[in-house]
Structures are given as structure tokens and as C-alpha cells.
Amino acid sequence: MGNPFDERPRQIFQRLDQTANYPYSLGVYVRRFCWLWVQATLVCFSPLRAYWWRRFWLRCFGAGIHTAGATTPTTKVTHPWLLTIGEFSIIGAGSTIYNLGPVYIGDHTVLSQDVYVCAGTHDYTQPDLPLKRSSVRIGHGVWICAGAFIGPGVTIGDNSIVGARAVVTADVPPGVIVAGNPARVVKLRPMELRE
């Protein structure tokens, strides 16, 4: 039985031998190395309730994080200097902020455990797949449920909910609940205030 990969197509569009080996400046690589070391030691082994400690280190590396904003010891952030976290907002355990581009998280917003925010991709229309550093904006009063994926360039409107394991690849309007893969609006979010 022959190897199915022995026969090549006549033309391969995607050329990985032409991709940029080092798409960032030396300064960014040094900064990333220092942050990865801090995140893997001083942040990762901090007590769960030591929010002030993690805020301190994120701010040292340029994050804009409110004094009531929070992360957990197992939250992973790629570029803190491209992250903004609002008042009374939290990024849950095991969540990843893969922010090659800016990520903005509004006030009173929750990212539950294992959420993946992806603010970066590659331009698949070019043979050398150059990096695209898209931004992600998550509004105020948003709840991103466990295991959801938020794709590059997405805006989540204020007061919306993204269901567990949803895959969000397009903007979400304000005040709705989305779910599924791809995520679609399933209903309006009830927002009647009780006294």
C-alpha cells in the first residue's frame, strides 16, 4: 500500500518556506520572554485571591487594568501591553488571551473558565501567510461562558451572553444570547431590573 502523501498536487499555493521567521522586532521578543517568565512563575503560583499581585505584574508590562479588574493564576495573556480590562471584570481560570492585536474587555464582564480570545490570525490569501493582528472588543456587562472561542476582529455588544463552547466569528449585537458553532443569536437577553 502506497503513502497517500507520495503524490503532490501540481501546485502548492501555501509556501511555509517563505513565511517570516521573526515577524516582531527584537525588543518585542525580549519583552515577551520576560513576560512569559513572570507569568510562568510569579503569576502562575500566586494565591487565587491575590488579584492585586497579578494586576501589579500585568501593569508592569503595560496592561490597562482597573483596580477592580481581575485574572486568575492560570489565565494566559500573550501581550499584556495590548490588553485592557475594565472595572469589576474578570478573566477565569484556564482562559487564554492570545492578543497579537489589542483586546478590550469592558466593565462588569466575565470570561468564564477556558475561554479562548484570539486576536490574531494569518492572511490565507497570501502564499507566505503574513500575520494579521486583529483587535477584539468585548463590551460592558458581557458574560462569555465556559470554553467559548472569540475570533479575530470580533466585537461583542454590551450586555450579551456567549453560550458555553460557542464559536464566535462575527460581531454579536448588544443584549442578545448567542450559542453554537458558528454562534447565532438564539434570543434576547432578559434584562428587567428587579428592586
Contacts of 148 (CB under 8 A, 6+ apart): 112, 115, 116, 162, 163, 164, 165, 166, 167, 168
146 CB-contact burial (10 Å; exposed 0-12 / middle 13-18 / buried 19+) = middle
189 CB-contact burial (10 Å; exposed 0-12 / middle 13-18 / buried 19+) = middle
Which of these, 34, 88, 35, 49, lies nearest to 65 by C-alpha position?
A: 88
CA gap 69, 55 in Å, rounded? 8
The answer to whether 101 touches 120, Cβ cutoff 8 Å, is yes
66 is catalytic: no
User: Which of 66, 79, 108, 122 is the catalytic position?
Assistant: 122
Contacts of 193 (CB under 8 A, 6+ apart): none
| DSSP code at position 13 | -
Q: Which residues are catalytic?
A: 122
